[in-house]
Amino acid sequence: MNLDFIFFQVYPYVAFTICVVATWIRYDREQYSWNARSSQILSDKWFVLGNNLFHWCVIMLLSAHFVGLLTPEALYKSIISPHHKQILAMTAGGILGTICWVGMTILVLRRLFNLRVRTNSRPSDIMILLVLYVQLMLGLSTIHVSAKHLDGVDMEALANWVQHIVTFRTDAYLYLQNINIIFKIHLFVGMTLFVLFPFTRLVHIVSVPLQYLTRTGYQIVRK
């Protein structure tokens, strides 16, 4: 059986279904576990810097992915050419991705090597942070691949795949047959994050705690 069909036609719907159903079950049965499990109270050294760099850049990167991949070709071509769209994506993605990498590196090192934080971390806390770190580095590595050909063909293929998936078309996987393997791995890890989402601290995203992004270097904790 065609592996592209399994990973990029079937798996997206499997991942999304698991994400939605498991998230709903967790919220229904384990509302007290529905939090970010912040480790700031354990050690705030470098935390605020790493946290803000990571979260703000992730929000902007995800927003850019959303707009770039879901905007119909006919619409954006009236404003910008595929070539210039790719240059814009590589430039903005490179800048935001690098800043995000700095923030996430701080968080990863803190999680792994700060004794208090590491001792109070669950295996899932460390696992999801490392998966996100790998995903970020995969995203940055796609810039190097994209720089080898600036015609925008790969970006169009990726956008067509996403748009065909969200509109439930059965030929979506065909758009990825000639895509570089690094893009495919990036997509697969991204979809796997949806599978992992309900079982980790990432569920706090759904609550959209906007004050979390602007919090100061301390927390008020009730006993």
Torsion of CA 210, 125, 16, 6, to 10 degrees: 140
20 or 120: which leads in pLDDT: 20
Burial of residue 142 (number of CB atoms within 10 Å: 0-12, 13-18, 19+): buried
Does residue 189 sit in helix, strand or coil? Answer: helix
pLDDT at residue 191 greater than cutoff 70? yes
Report phi then psi at 20, rounded to 5.
-70, -50
Region for residue 208 given its phi and psi (left: phi exceeds 0; alpha: psi -120 to 50; beta: otherwise): left
Round to whole Å and give the CA distance between 17 and 21: 6
Given a cut of 90, whether residue 44 has pLDDT beyond it is no
Cα dihedral 73, 79, 84, 86 in deg (nearest 10) = -40
Can you give the pLDDT at residue 223?
47
End-to-end CA separation in angstroms for the chain: 56
Q: List the domain boundaries for the chain.
A: 3-30+45-201
Give the residue, 205 or 56, on which the prediction is more confident.
56
- pLDDT for res 159: 96
pTM: 0.87
Name the CATH architecture for the domain at 3-30+45-201.
Up-down Bundle (1.20)
Query: At 145, phi and psi to the nearest 5?
Result: -65, -45
* pLDDT given for residue 15 in this prediction: 98
Mean confidence (pLDDT) of the chain: 88
Residue found by looking up tokens 């063909």 in the block: 153
pLDDT at 216 over 80: no
Q: Which amino acid is at 84?
A: H
Q: Could you report the per-residue pLDDT of 117-175, keeping only the tens digit for each?
A: 888 889 999 999 999 999 999 999 999 999 998 999 999 999 999 999 999 999 999 99
Find out whether 6 and 171 touch, Cβ atoms under 8 Å.
no
Q: Which residue has the tokens 């790969």?
A: 154
Q: Give CA separation, 78 vs 81, 85, 151, 168, 217, in Å.
A: 8, 12, 17, 26, 46
